[in-house]
Chain A
Amino acid sequence: MAVETPVNAGTSVPAGLAARGGRVRRGNAGWLFILPFLLVFVAFLVAPLVYAGYLSLWTKGLATGTTFAGIDNYTRAFGDPSFRKGLWFVLKFSVVVIPLQIIVALVAALLLDEITGRLAKFSRLVIFLPYAIPVVLGALMWGFLYSPTFGPIEQIASFFDFRAPFLLSQGNVYYGLLNVVTWQWSGYYMIIIYAALKGIDSTIYEAARIDGATARQIALRVKVPMVSSALALILVFSLIGTLQFFSEPQILRPIANGSITPDFTPNIYAYELAFNYAQFNYASAISFALGFVVFVAVAIFMFVTRKRGSLFT
Chain B
Amino acid sequence: MTRPRHVWAKLLLLALCCYFLIPVWWVVVASTKNAEGLFSGTGALWFHGFHLFDNLHALFTFNNGEYLRWLGNSALYAFAGGLGCTVVSVLAGYGFAKFNFRGRNIVFALVLGSVMVPLTALVIPTFVMMSKVGLIDTIWAVILPSLLSPFAVYLMRVYAGASIPDELLDAARIDGAGELRTFWRVALPLMRPGVVTVALLSIVATWNNFFLPLTMLSSSKLYPLTVGIGLWEQLASSNNGGGQSLWNLIIIGSLVSIIPLIIAFLTLQKYWQGGLSVGSLK
Contact = CB atoms under 8 A, between A and B. Distances in A.
A134 to B, nearest CB: 4
Contact of B166 (A11, A48, A49, A254): A11
A44 B147 contact: yes
A52 B105 contact: no
Interface string B201-230: 000100110110011000000000110011
Interface size class of A (residues with CB under 8 A): 35 or more
Contact of A27 (B24, B99, B125, B269): B99
Contacts of B88: 36-37, 40
B44 A30 contact: no
A36 B105 contact: no
A187 B170 CA distance: 41
Interface string B26-62: 1100100000001101111100000000000000000
A2 B109 contact: yes
| Residue from the set B23, B94, B254 with the largest chain A CB neighbour count within 10 Å | B23
Nearest to B262: A132
Interface string B111-125: 111101111111111
A141 B254 contact: yes
Nearest to A267: B120
Interface of A: 1-2, 4, 6, 8, 10-14, 22-23, 26-34, 36-38, 40-41, 43-45, 47-49, 51-52, 55, 104, 107-108, 111-112, 114-115, 119-120, 122-123, 125-138, 140-142, 144-145, 149-152, 155, 183, 187, 191-193, 195-196, 198-199, 215, 227, 229-230, 233, 236, 240, 243-244, 246-247, 250-251, 254-255, 267, 270-271, 274-275, 280, 283-284, 287-288, 290-291, 294-295, 298-299, 310, 312-313
Contacts of B71: none
Contact of B277 (A28, A104, A151, A196): A196
Q: Tell me what chain A mostly uses at the interface: helix, strand, loop, or mixed.
A: helix
Contacts of A38: 92, 107
Nearest to A196: B280
Given A12-B167, A26-B100, A36-B91, A125 B13 contact: no
Contact of A195 (B12, B116, B277): B277
Given A150-B30, A312-B154, A114 B100 contact: no
A36 B118 CA distance: 22
B234 A52 contact: no
B226 A291 contact: no
Given A12-B170, A41-B111, A137-B226, A290 B210 contact: no
Contacts of B173: 22
Given A183-B23, A287-B121, 7 more contacts: A10-B161, A26-B100, A30-B96, A44-B122, A44-B147, A45-B122, A243-B118
B204 A131 contact: yes
B68 interface: no
A29 B99 contact: yes
Contact of A8 (B100, B121, B207, B247): B100
